[in-house]
A = this chain, B = another copy of it.
Amino acid sequence: MPSPGKLRILPLGGLGEIGKNMTMFEYQNEAIILDAGIMFPENDMLGIDYIIPDFQYVVNRMQEHGLRIHGIVITHGHEDHTGAIGHVLDHIKAPVYATQLTAGLLEIKMREFKHQDHPLHVIKAGDVLSLGPFSVETFHVCHSIPDSIGVGINTPVGLVVHSGDFKFDHTPVDGWPPDFAKLSEFSRRGVLALLSDSTNADQDGWTPSENVIEKAFDEVFGQVQGRIIVATFASHISRIQQVAAAAQRHGRKLAVAGHSMTEYIKVASKLGYLNLPKDLLIPLDKTNKIPPNEIAIMATGTQGEPSAVLGRLAGGQHRQLEIEKGDTVIMSAHPIPGNEESVHRTINKLIQRGANVVYDRIALVHVSGHARREELKLLINLIRPKFFIPVHGELRHLVQHSQIAQELGIPAENTAVVENGTEIFLTADTLEIGQRIPGGYVFVDGKGVGDIGPIVMRDRENLGRDGFVSVMVLLDQKTGELAEPPDIVSRGFVYLRESSWLVEMSNQVITDIVRSRPGGNLTTAIQDGLAKLYFNETKRRPMTFAYVREVQGSPVPR
Q: Is the CB of B558 within 8 A of A549?
A: yes
Query: How far does the Cβ of A50 sit from chain B's closest Cβ, in whole Å?
Result: 13
Per assembly, the copies of the chain total: 2
- Name A400's closest neighbour in chain B (CB-CB): B362
Contact status A456-B419, CB under 8 Å? no
> Could you tell me if A551 and B551 are in contact, using CB atoms closer than 8 angstroms?
yes
Q: Which residues does chain B contribute within 8 Å of A362, judged by CB atoms?
A: 202, 400
Q: Is the CB–CB distance between B550 and A465 below 8 Å?
A: no
Check if B491 sits within 8 Å of A468, measured CB to CB. yes
Q: Is the CB of B549 within 8 A of A552?
A: no
Q: Counting CB contacts under 8 A, is A263 at the interface?
A: no
Contacts of A347 in B (CB 8 A): 394-396
Q: Does any Cβ of B come within 8 Å of A212's Cβ?
A: no
- Interface code A487-507, partner B: CB below 8 Å = 1, 0 otherwise? 101011111001100000000
A465 CA / B446 CA spacing, docked (Å): 11
Q: How far is the CB of A199 from chain B (nearest CB, A)?
A: 13
Give Cα A396–Cα B346 distance, bound, in whole angstroms: 10
Name the one of B44, B455, B465, B472 contacting A47, with C-beta atoms under 8 angstroms: B465
1/0 per residue A125-148: CB within 8 Å of B? 000000000000000000000000
When C-beta atoms are compared, the residue in chain B nearest to A460 turns out to be B492
Q: Does the CB pair B537–A447 fall under 8 Å?
A: yes
Judged by a CB distance under 8 angstroms, whether A470 is at the interface is: yes
**Distance in Å: Cβ of A81 to nearest Cβ of chain B:** 21
A495–B451 touching, CB < 8 Å = yes
16 contacts between A and B (CB under 8 A): A43-B44, A47-B464, A337-B341, A351-B399, A446-B540, A448-B538, A451-B494, A451-B499, A452-B495, A455-B495, A459-B467, A459-B491, A460-B464, A463-B464, A477-B553, A552-B552
Measuring CB to CB, which residues of chain A are less than 8 angstroms from any residue of chain B? 15, 42-44, 46-47, 202-203, 337-338, 340-342, 344-345, 347-349, 351-352, 356-357, 359, 361-362, 394-396, 399-400, 419, 445-448, 451-453, 455-456, 459-468, 470, 472, 474-475, 477, 487, 489, 491-495, 498-499, 520-523, 537-540, 543, 545, 547-553, 555-558
Kindly list 17 other residue pairs between chains A and B, CB separation below 8 angstroms, not including A445-B540, A547-B547.
A43-B341, A47-B540, A338-B340, A351-B396, A351-B399, A357-B399, A446-B538, A448-B538, A451-B494, A452-B494, A460-B464, A463-B468, A463-B492, A470-B545, A474-B551, A548-B557, A550-B555
